[in-house]
Structure 1
Amino acid sequence: MTTAHSATFRIGAVDLNGQLRGKRLPSAHLGKLKNGGARLPFSALNLDVWGCDIDDSPLVFESGDQDGVLLPASRGSVPMPWLATPSDLVLMQLFHDDGTAFMGDPTQALSAVLDRFAARGWSVVAATEMEFTLVDDSGDHLCPPLHPRDGRRLAASDVLSITELDAFDAFFTDVYDGAAAMGIPLQTMTAESGIGQFEVTLNHQNAMKAADDALLIKHLLRATARNHGFAATFMAKPYADDAGNGMHVHFSVVDKDGNNVFDDGTDEGSDLLKSAVAGCLSAMRASSLIFAPNGSSYDRFAPGAHAPTTICWGYENRTAAIRIPGGAQAARRIEHRVAGGDVNPYLILAAILGAAIEGIESALMPPPPTVGNAYGQDLPQLAATWAEAIDLFEGDDVITRCLPAELITNLVMTKRQEMLKLAEVAPEAQWQTYLERV
């Protein structure tokens, strides 16, 4: 663990909405963390999106709101380059006093899934692609930001435009510099199909670090945008009539000898790949709440919005929910394309990889790959509404095998409370809830 560069540093554990909950501590306390020198209520990881306790939560009302022990995650500390005063952030995980993991912690849920792969002598390599939108939130409604060169408001998308990237060069330069300082393997940044929309891609690495980096790049992008006079949001649908923000997950599985188990020397990939695909398909509908966790998430699934809603897979088919990219056979992998940009990175990896290992352990086989435009075909669909997604998630047998029971219970309670509270917020003001919280 590195030493903080100021008088204080931050510690943060990840709640169910992907927000960091923790404390600011004196730098002299840094060495005490590995010995359990920091504590946090278990209920702190089970708050709603506004940061409020969950009504009737057993963590509060049955257990007396007990504290757990915070221990540093494997990532250690990272700098926070967006701050005027240099400081560090230490990602933490929550445990019970007897040393057992608190299974309401999303990072512990992912760890448990990765342990199932490790039991076979495998490790998971993953990467994420996330879309975000730069916005001006200074008024009563969201607007595109002002063009840094001419001062006029952005009026249209400019897909894959180098000119648009160059216009925001100062912002992107700070992002790349910040990512390097934080050890985030930032790869490409591209202009996407929405007004002020861009996509950030991160390099393949072990799955837990991939989740860490997805969380940290969100913080870096949001804070750096503020330093440049606008906001960056991962909301699934910032504008009703424009493109939504998605998050794609790529993953492959490597054995102890470094071989990709999805590669069998053919373009189709191994039976293990197909079983992993089948597992992902079997859990997809019930996992809708993970892929679309918020009230505004379902706006992204509007007809013609090019967000995958059909439960299917295909080779080199970007209209399918699961795509098997082409390229070198040794790099054969699965691309899961369903989620919005507003997801919790740990929960989405836990759900996808948990479903994949379920498919492998049960030797499932998928239906034939979808050919052509999946949007127009008669195929099974994701949950259509937030309420339906919550109900499906709560009672599904596959979900209970993929994720801890405590996390399932807590997430269902959290989302039901959020659904009730959001109904009291005027639709035109709901963006203020989600702008920088997801």
Structure 2
Amino acid sequence: MTKPEEVPTLETINEFLRDDTRVKLAVVDIDGVLRGKIMHKTKFLNIVEEGFGFCSVVHGWDIEDQLYTQEIEFSGKEAPYFDFIAKIDLSSFRRIPWENNVPFFLVSLVHPKTREPLYCCPRTLLESACDDLMNTYGYTAYCGTEFEFFCFKETPEALKEKGFTNLNPLTVGMCGYSILRPTDNQEFYYNAFDWLREFRVDIESWHSETGPGVFEAALAYVDAREAGDRAALFKTSMKQIARKHGFMASFMAKPYQDLPGCSGHTHFSLKDKNGRNVFAIWDKSEESEIPGVSKTMYHFLAGLLRGLPSIMAILAPTVNSYKRLVERFWAPITVSWGIDNRRGAVRIIVPPASSPNGARMEVRVPGSDINAHLVYAAVLKCGYWGIRTSQTMPIGPLSDKVDLDTQSGEKLARTLQEATAAMEAKGSVAREVLGDDFVNHFVKTRRHEWTEWVNAVTDYERKRYMELI
């Protein structure tokens, strides 16, 4: 297991890799997919300080390697497909237990023309959000995500042959928090927990969820930079571990119409330089107009709520994401919040529901299909903006008596197209906090995603129209 004190430096990297012959590297693309390669150790040691070239097409195509339909800097008729400069992040060093302990590093991307961190690199955006909070207020952001995911007794080849229909779930029935079900796949259940701990992607807890073959894993609550890396690594790692045990794990937000979708609920808090949680109230001067909520937490929440409609395309990044955000399934559909209330977009957790150090907010909009780096960055930048500009609350808390189907507050986007338009709009909070360069690029990637959906002929259409229309 790699401990933080065992992270290599330029001076010690040779010793760390003394017995190795190869190294694995990966970047995080705009959809949160890891893109990488195996590199000979000699090559790696030659480029570890200055970086190496990585084809810019990784930010010019979608998850199926199809070039974006709208021309961007990194793809299209006029694009030269130049190389980014990929900089090794030595602090990300890990060994992959299920791949014979091969050494692994994440890289961040630099634009070769400006020599600046790449504006659409997810790791760069999150680092910027963390730096804003630290440099202005001395705050360190902490995050943790709870990922739900379905498992199927399938292979990629079988899925293609079946036309991605009639999938065979790993377990049957609705067995949330079951002690019985995990014993049916006990080797996978415990190997995943232990291997991920060794990989420095610790799971705080995990259990079966309600639905056939569904699990939920809560990742350890750590500083935001590390949390983003761990979330990206967790999804790929769990897919690999599942395949090693003969089945598949899917982080699709809504595989079944008649079952709840897969959430990616994410928790946030801020600590000062003394390690004190500034979302908690330590003396009366810190109390806001909302009992139990500090002034810092109040302004952070206000900024997030005001920015929420314009960052929806990040929190719900796929066409399928919006199938999860519907009434009756404990999924938020409005700009809303409440104290320890799971029915809103944001759940505030403060004493007595937690200890002072445990005070936090849970953003319940994201599904398991998120790019966590981007979600963390977007929420933190909205919160930072809220604190910096002393934003006030746009709406009061949800009543305990509010029905799921009649939530008050501005309706959140119901499609990726609506969410993309809200982000793109002139003067949007997203533009204010994320910057035009990132927003312009991300909007084009989501328009591409929507266009692919609009042009697709589906089973639904054939069933509805082929005979009767």
Does TM, normalized by the shorter one, top 0.5? yes
Provide runs of 4+ in structure 1 moved above 6 Å.
none
Residue aligned with 1:59, SS:
coil
Structure with greater Cα Rg:
2
Q: Which residue of 2 aligns with 1:410?
A: 441
- Say whether the 8 Å CA contact 1:6–1:86 is kept in structure 2: no
Q: Which residue of 2 aligns with 1:51?
A: 65
- Say whether the 8 Å CA contact 2:309–2:413 is kept in structure 1: yes
Q: 1:279 aligns with which of 291, 294, 303?
A: 303
Q: Which residue of 1 aligns with 2:278?
A: 261
Partners of 1:256 and 1:232 lie apart in 2 by: 39
| Pair 1:332–1:77, CA change in 2 (3 A) | same
Q: Where in structure 2 are the equivalents of 1:9-408 lying within 5 Å? A: 9-55=23-69, 56-61=71-76, 64-73=80-89, 75-83=91-99, 85-97=100-112, 99-119=115-135, 120-137=137-154, 138=158, 139-140=162-163, 141-147=165-171, 154=172, 156-265=173-282, 268-325=292-349, 326-366=353-393, 367-372=395-400, 373=402, 375=404, 376-395=406-425, 396-408=427-439
Partners of 2:202 and 2:317 lie apart in 1 by: 26
- Opposite residue 401 of structure 1, the aligned amino acid is E
- Say whether the 8 Å CA contact 2:28–2:34 is kept in structure 1: yes
* TM-score of the two chains, using structure 2 as the length reference: 0.85
Residue aligned with 2:216, SS:
strand
- Opposite residue 396 of structure 2, the aligned amino acid is P
Partners of 1:121 and 1:74 lie apart in 2 by: 24
- Say whether the 8 Å CA contact 2:49–2:88 is kept in structure 1: no
Residue 88 of structure 1, CA deviation: 2.7
Partners of 2:26 and 2:440 lie apart in 1 by: 23
Partners of 1:47 and 1:280 lie apart in 2 by: 30
Cα deviation 1:103-129 (Å, max 9, x = unaligned): 111111111111110112111111111
Partners of 1:60 and 1:233 lie apart in 2 by: 29
Q: Which residue of 2 aligns with 1:151?
A: none
| Pair 1:329–1:146, CA change in 2 (3 A) | closer
- Opposite residue 114 of structure 1, the aligned amino acid is C
Residue aligned with 1:349, SS:
helix
| Pair 1:353–1:142, CA change in 2 (3 A) | farther
- Say whether the 8 Å CA contact 1:125–1:206 is kept in structure 2: yes
Residue 7 of structure 1, CA deviation: 3.1
Question: Does the alignment pair 1:421 with 2:452?
Answer: yes
- Opposite residue 411 of structure 1, the aligned amino acid is F
- Opposite residue 379 of structure 2, the aligned amino acid is I
| Pair 1:341–1:397, CA change in 2 (3 A) | same
Question: Which stretch of the first structure deviates more once superposed, 203-212 or 68-77?
Answer: 68-77
| Pair 1:379–1:67, CA change in 2 (3 A) | same
Residue 86 of structure 1, CA deviation: 4.0
Cα deviation 1:330-370 (Å, max 9, x = unaligned): 32111111101100010000111111111111111223221
RMSD: 2.1
Partners of 1:230 and 1:426 lie apart in 2 by: 28
Partners of 1:303 and 1:317 lie apart in 2 by: 16
Cα deviation 1:303-354 (Å, max 9, x = unaligned): 2122111211111101111111221123211111110110001000011111
Question: Which stretch of the first structure deviates more once superposed, 188-197 or 230-239?
Answer: 188-197
- Opposite residue 408 of structure 2, the aligned amino acid is D
The gaps in structure 2 that reach 5 residues or longer are 1-7, 9-15, 461-469
